[in-house]
Chains A and B, each alone.
Chain A
Amino acid sequence: MKKRLTIFTLVTLLIISMLSLTSCKGDENGNTDAEADVIKLGVIAPLTGEISQYGIGVNNAAKLAAEEINDAGGIDGKMIEIISYDSKADKTEAINAYNKLRDQDNITALIGCTISGTTLSIKEIAAGDGIPVLTPTATNLDVTLNAPNIFRACFTDPYQGETAAVFSAEDLGAKKAAVIYNLESAYSEGIAEAFKTKYSDLGEITNFEGYADTDTDFRTILTKIADKKPDVLFIPDYYAKVGVILTQVKELGIDVVCIGVDGWDGIEADYADVAEGHYFINHYSKNDPSELVQNFITKFEETYDMSPNALAALGYDATKIMSEAIKNAGSTESSAIVEELSNISTDGVTGHITFDENGDPTKSISVIQIVNGEHKLAGKVSVE
């Protein structure tokens, strides 16, 4: 009896699902007008889990950007709809989400994925499909390689190092630079190497020193560096480590300007006094007086009751850039949009942006100085 009931339920479910599927199809074919009025953009981001604040920032910002565009009349009268799926920072989940967006939701373009790992997992499929993909925040070099339809809005790790080198030499007029980096971190070492290569053409590298992840005493290395009297000291690492290093720089009374990278974001919370006067490179500055940036921050805070992080700023820019490309293309044809993306030249919250032949951005980068424990925009640098 029980068995028959189960079979009956299953059959009923099957019939219902078939019916609903066919009705979907019918809708699609019959209701072309409604379809054409909406441009669907997919977002894949980690909305739950350890790094959910990254995904939430990107997703919220994408929705905010879409809302703004729709309020201003949409793209040639067509409204943008953001469809987002949670990747849970998992590669398989990201692929499932991508397939769903492509087959079920029929998206025009994809904003994502948010992190490098998940973006790489969908890279091959997306490259095969030719659908326009713009990742706001995947910094890994491989993401855009050999995939003409994949672009990114953020700068890559080596690009940060090069920008820091140019900023030190040209804006600060530094003739000698020292580098101290984390031996056990691919992020830190990659940026340090890029800085070294670029700076070697612009000035002299006095020291290139490494430390282990567990090291807490940097006095020996710093004393050695101080002896060479460099004008700047480049420290590409995350703020918790940098705080310890800067404390010892101050303790030893070394007179040097320190330069950092986006991992420094948040250093003013615990280390404002030792970080005072030093510079770091970031995706955008909250204190950038430009109207574009301030409008974004005000609106984001009003809508979501939280402060936008750098990832949110990039998510916002990515959505705006994609919409502009779709508008310029004048159609939802993938190849046309990709063509327009590669020709784009626009101002965003994170700076002026154009794409190179790989689909990586060539953009100005914000350099932030810690002044009175606050971020102050020291300048915008672009590297040719």
Chain B
Amino acid sequence: MTLFLQQLINGLSVGSIYAVIALGYTMVYGIIKLINFAHGEIMMMGAYFAFVTAVTIGMPFYMVLIVSMLIAAILGLSIEYVAYKPLRNAPRISALITAIGISLFLQNLALVVFKPEPKVMPAIIPKQPILIGNLQIGTVTIVTILLSVIFMILLDQFIKKTKPGKAMRAVSQDKEASILMGINVNRTISLTFAIGSALGAFGGVLYSIAYTQVYPTMGIMPGLKAFVAAVLGGIGLLPGAMLGGFVIGMIETISKAYISSQWSDAIVFGILIIVLIVKPTGILGKNEREKV
């Protein structure tokens, strides 16, 4: 029993990071129907920003987090301005290919600037495990779960209660009508990118602390898994992304623990295929989708 609970905690800790990254994916998709494949690389850049600020300036954890989220937001804004904005009225496939291009560009940029060897992230959150009975919970896990839930609630409230949030929902439902109603669509889209990128960086910082390394290709696998999580939960839905992240984390953990560590990735992606066949809109998706 203890073993099972311990594995559930492991699943939660993996899932919470997927969930945070998936939030950024799903926000951007919700508003401009773009699968932002560069999101994993924004996460990677966020981790590098954190590495630089933590090592060279020696900032404490919360400052590192805030600074790298801010820089990543600016990076997200510039990418949107340079690469996606000119394609606003182009076919969706053009924007998708541009996203892949940006993803490769950022990877190679990091390769040139930071070199390919993995950098070791300093432990800016103490690594001592906390004991609850026989259960071990890492402090990084607790911080990740707490912060990601807090961010999700904040984001949800932001979208439901504030004016820019309402504008986001309006744009996601009907761009033309929003323009007619006097909503600044371009600014709303930029804001979405800024928030999405900041969340990506948040995931990147926690990921690099939890797994101690920062390297140029670190964004690929978590990015892919987070994308799967977003699709599984119902892409375009915030709670869906969160749920999808935790579900993917759990499936991965359970299959590694009780079925086969060699087969776990195949099982995760196999389940995605089954869900998409049975319910193409994802777990929380409805036919008339309520979008961000």
Residue ranges of A at the interface with B (Cβ–Cβ < 8 Å) = 183, 209-212, 214-217, 219-221, 223-224, 227, 240, 243-244, 247, 250-253, 270-271
Mark interface residues in B237-273 (1 if CB within 8 Å of A CB, else 0): 0000000000000001100110001100100000000
Q: How far is the CA of A51 from the CA of B136 in the complex (A)?
A: 43
Q: Which of A183, A221, A244 contacts B211 (CB 8 A)?
A: A244
Chain B residues with Cβ below 8 Å from A250 are 127
Q: By the criterion of a CB under 8 Å from any partner CB, how many residues of chain B are at the interface?
A: 29
Given A244-B211, A247-B212, verify A221-B136 contact (CB < 8 Å): no
Alpha-carbon separation in the docked complex, A221 to B136 (Å): 15
Question: Within 8 Å of chain A (Cβ to Cβ): is B165?
Answer: no
The residue from A211, A219, A221, A243 contacting B13, defined by CB atoms under 8 A apart: A219
- Do B136 and A252 touch (CB < 8 A)? yes
Cβ contacts A to B, 5 pairs, < 8 Å: A214-B220, A216-B213, A217-B210, A217-B211, A219-B14
B214 to chain A, nearest CB (A): 11
In the complex, the answer to whether B10 meets A251 with C-beta atoms within 8 Å is no
> B120 to A221, Cβ gap below 8 A?
no
* Given A210-B262, A247-B212: A217 and B129 interface contact (C-beta under 8 Å): no
Whether A220 contacts B253 in the complex (CB less than 8 A), given A251-B129, A270-B120, comes out as: yes
Chain A proximity of B114: nearest CB distance (Å): 15
> Does B11 lie within 8 Å of A220, measured CB to CB?
yes
Give A330 Cβ to nearest chain B Cβ, in Å. 50
A240 in contact with B253 (CB, 8 Å): no
A-B residue pairs, 3 tightest by C-beta = A216-B211, A214-B221, A220-B256
Given A217-B211, A220-B7, A224-B257: A243 and B120 interface contact (C-beta under 8 Å):
yes
- A214-B221, A247-B212 known; A253 vs B136 contact (CB < 8 Å): yes
Q: Is B274 an interface position by the 8 A CB rule?
A: no
Looking at chain B's contact residues, is the secondary structure mostly helix, strand, loop, or mixed?
helix
Question: How far is A210 from B213 in the complex, measured between Cα atoms in Å?
Answer: 20
B3 interface contact, C-beta 8 A: yes
- Other A-B pairs, 13, CB within 8 Å; known A220-B256, A252-B129, A270-B120: A214-B220, A216-B218, A220-B7, A220-B11, A220-B261, A223-B10, A223-B257, A224-B7, A240-B213, A243-B213, A247-B211, A251-B127, A253-B136
User: Known: A244-B212, A252-B129, A252-B136. Is A220-B120 also a contact (CB below 8 A)?
Assistant: no
Interface residues of B (CB under 8 A from A): 3, 6-7, 10-11, 13-14, 117-118, 120, 127, 129, 136, 138, 207, 210-213, 218, 220-221, 252-253, 256-257, 261-262, 265
Report B-chain residues with C-beta under 8 Å of the C-beta of A271.
Answer: 120
Given contacts A227-B3, A251-B129, A270-B120, contact A221 B212 (CB under 8 A): no
Nearest neighbor of B117 in chain A, beta-carbon distance: A240
Whether the pair A210, B261 counts as a contact (CB closer than 8 A) is yes
Q: Chain A's nearest CB lies how many Å from the CB of B107?
A: 14
Contact status A221-B220, CB under 8 Å: no
Tell whether, in the assembled complex, residue B10 and residue A209 are in contact, meaning their CB atoms are under 8 Å apart: no
Give min CB distance, B45 to chain A, whole Å. 17
With a cutoff of 8 Å between Cβ atoms, the chain B residues found around residue A219 in the complex are 10, 13-14
Chain B residue numbers with a CB within 8 Å of A210 are 261-262
Question: Which B residues are CB-close (under 8 A) to A223?
Answer: 3, 6-7, 10, 257
- Which of A212, A214, A227, A252 has the largest number of chain B CB atoms within 10 A? A214
* CB atoms of B212 and A220 under 8 A apart: no
Of the listed residues B129, B138, B211, B261, the one surrounded by the most CB atoms of chain A closer than 10 A to its CB is: B261
A270 to B121, CA, bound (A): 10
Given contacts A243-B212, A251-B138, contact A221 B261 (CB under 8 A): yes
Option from B10, B14, B213, B265 in Cβ contact (under 8 Å) with A212: B265
Q: Closest chain A residue to B221 by CB distance?
A: A214
Q: Which chain A positions have C-beta within 8 A of B7?
A: 220, 223-224
Q: What separation, in Å, do the CA atoms of A303 and B212 have in the docked complex?
A: 38
Q: Looking across the interface, which residue of chain B has its beta carbon closest to that of A252?
A: B136
- Is B256's CB under 8 angstroms from A221's CB? yes
| In contact, A209 and B212 (Cβ under 8 angstroms) | no
Complex Cα spacing A221 to B118, Å: 23
| Chain A positions within 8 Å of B136 at CB level | 251-253
Contacts of A247 in B (CB 8 A): 127, 211-212
Chain A CB within 10 Å — which of B6, B10, B127, B220 has the most?
B10
The CA of A216 and the CA of B222, in the complex, are separated in Å by: 10
Alpha-carbon separation in the docked complex, A223 to B136 (Å): 10
Q: How far is the CA of A215 from the CA of B213 in the complex (A)?
A: 12
Complex Cα distance, B129 from A216, in Å, reads 18
Q: Which residues of A contact B220 (CB under 8 A)?
A: 214
- Min CB distance A353 to B, Å, is 34
Which of B117, B136, B212 has the most A CB atoms < 10 Å from its CB?
A: B212
Check B262 against A220 for contact (C-beta < 8 Å): no
**Least Cβ–Cβ distance between A238 and chain B, in angstroms:** 11
> Given that A221-B256, A224-B256, A244-B212 are contacting pairs, would A211 and B14 also be in contact in the complex, using a CB cutoff of 8 Å?
no
A220-B213 contact, Cβ under 8 Å, with A210-B262, A212-B265, A253-B136 = no
Chain A residue at smallest Cβ distance from B265: A212
Which residues of A are found within 8 Å of B11, using beta-carbon distances? 220
CB-based contact A211/B129 at 8 Å: no
Which residue of chain A is the closest to B262 with respect to CB atoms?
Answer: A210
Taken together as a complex, chains A and B put the C-alpha atoms of A220 and B256 apart, in Å, by 7
